[in-house]
Amino acid sequence: MEFKVPTMAELMAAGEEPEILFWVGCAGSYDERAQKITRDICKILHHVGIKYAVLGTEESCTGDPAKRAGNEFLFQMQAMTNIEVLNAYNIKKIVTGCPHCFNTIKNEYPGLGGTYEVIHHTQLIQDLINEGKLKAEGGESFKGKKITYHDPCYLGRGNGIYEAPRKALEVLDAQLVEMKRCKSNGLCCGAGGAQMFKEPEKGNKDINVERIDEALETNPQVIAAGCPFCMTMLSDGIKLKDKEQEVKVLDIAEITARANGL
| Residues from 52 through 81 that contact other proteins (CB under 8 A) | 54, 56-57, 59-61, 63, 65-74, 76-78, 80-81
Q: Which residues have CB under 8 Å from 29's CB, separation 6+?
A: 35, 38, 59
Q: How far is the CB of 80 from other proteins (least distance, A)?
A: 6
Indicate the residue among 64 and 134 with the shorter CB distance to other proteins: 64
Distance (Å, rounded) from C-alpha 170 to C-alpha 62? Answer: 32
- Phi and psi at residue 82, in whole multiples of 5°? -65, -40
Tally of CB atoms within 10 A around 2: 6
Indicate the residue among 177 and 194 with the shorter CB distance to other proteins: 194
* 213-228 core/surface letters (b: 16 or more CB in 10 A; e: else): ebbbebebebbbbbbb
What letter represents residue 148's amino acid?
T
Q: How far is the CB of 238 from other proteins (least distance, A)?
A: 18
Residue 103 interacting with other proteins (CB under 8 A)? yes
Residue 132 interacting with other proteins (CB under 8 A)? no
Residue 194 interacting with other proteins (CB under 8 A)? yes
Is the separation of the CB atoms in 168 and 226 below 8 Å?
no
Q: Which residues have CB under 8 Å from 211's CB, separation 6+?
A: 150, 187, 188, 189, 190, 233, 234, 237
Q: Which residues have CB under 8 Å from 193's CB, separation 6+?
A: 68, 69
Distance (Å, rounded) from C-alpha 180 to C-alpha 195? Answer: 24
Q: How far is the CB of 187 from other proteins (least distance, A)?
A: 6
Q: Which of 13, 15, 199, 245 binds other proteins (CB under 8 A)?
A: 199
Indicate the residue among 159 and 175 with the shorter CB distance to other proteins: 159
Q: How far is the CB of 143 from other proteins (least distance, A)?
A: 27
Q: Which of residues 236-255 bind other proteins (CB under 8 A)?
A: none
Q: How far is the CB of 144 from other proteins (least distance, A)?
A: 30
Q: Which of 88, 185, 239, 240 binds other proteins (CB under 8 A)?
A: 185
The secondary element (H helix, E strand) that includes residue 78 is helix 72-88
Residue 157 interacting with other proteins (CB under 8 A)? yes
Indicate the residue among 16 and 72 with the shorter CB distance to other proteins: 72
Distance (Å, rounded) from C-alpha 153 to C-alpha 176? Answer: 20
Residue 39 interacting with other proteins (CB under 8 A)? yes
Indicate the residue among 101 and 238 with the shorter CB distance to other proteins: 101
Residue 96 interacting with other proteins (CB under 8 A)? no
Q: Which residues have CB under 8 Å from 67's CB, separation 6+?
A: 75, 104, 108
Q: Which of 18, 192, 228, 237 binds other proteins (CB under 8 A)?
A: 192
Residue 210 interacting with other proteins (CB under 8 A)? yes
Distance (Å, rounded) from C-alpha 106 to C-alpha 94? Answer: 9
Part of the chain binding other proteins (CB under 8 A), chosen from 199-207, 216-224, 238-246, 248-256: 199-207
